[in-house]
Amino acid sequence: MLMQSKFICRKFNIMKKVILLILFSLFLQQCAQKKVDLTKQPEQKIMEDNTHKNNPYYSRTDKTKLNVSNEEWEKILSPEVYAIAREANTEYPFTGKYNEFDELGEYYCAVCGNHLFRSSSKFASTCGWPSFFEADKEGVSYKRDSTHGMERIEVLCKRCDSHLGHVFNDGPPPTGTRFCMNSVSLDFQADSKK
Ligand SMILES: [Zn+2]
């Protein structure tokens, strides 16, 4: 009888130790989990605040001509920006974020940050893409484009040679010019947020 109760007692002690061990390991796990969460949160916030964080060429003040290969741009840019700005694709009409948009501010190249347009030269066009009657002369360059069975003039960013859109001679006064641009190729900075 005595032997049996001693045995039960020892068994109980072992069980107690096992339970304590489980509780302790659970406590440790929780601590480790909390540590991970704390380090993750600030990182995510920084990424949301700065969309050009991974683009070392982006600058709104540096005018130095860039000579970066498409292979490298593909690693830096989002697939959407890369397809339009580097492969001269066109966004669907009436879908761009700056098509029906009339805030006061400056438009920059979404690839390199070069200044392209001022909002005062933007006009309400019915073509489906953001349109301007005048560009920053230091911001854009031109190239003959004979693709898709049409004769057009392509507009490129003067600093990084990215595709912005095309220019036509059916614009409003005072220039009679219509810069028909892709929203994806543009970055906007509102005057109120300067
Ligand atoms: Zn550019």
Q: What is the pTM of this model?
A: 0.74
d(CA 146, ligand 1 centre) in Å: 22
Instruction: Calculate Rg over the CA atoms of the chain.
Output: 30
Residue ranges of domains in the chain, CATH in brackets: 31-193 (2.170.150.20)
Query: Looking at the predicted structure, is the pLDDT value of residue 31 above 70?
Result: no
Q: What is the mean pLDDT of the chain?
A: 84
What does the CA dihedral 160, 166, 168, 170 come to, rounded to 10 degrees? Answer: -120
Query: Looking at the predicted structure, is the pLDDT value of residue 141 above 90?
Result: yes
Taking residues 112-129, report their average pLDDT. 96
d(CA 45, ligand 1 centre) in Å: 26
112 noted as active-site residue: no
Q: For residue range 41-95, what is the model confidence (pLDDT) as tens digits?
A: 444 333 333 579 899 999 999 999 999 999 999 999 999 999 999 999 999 999 9
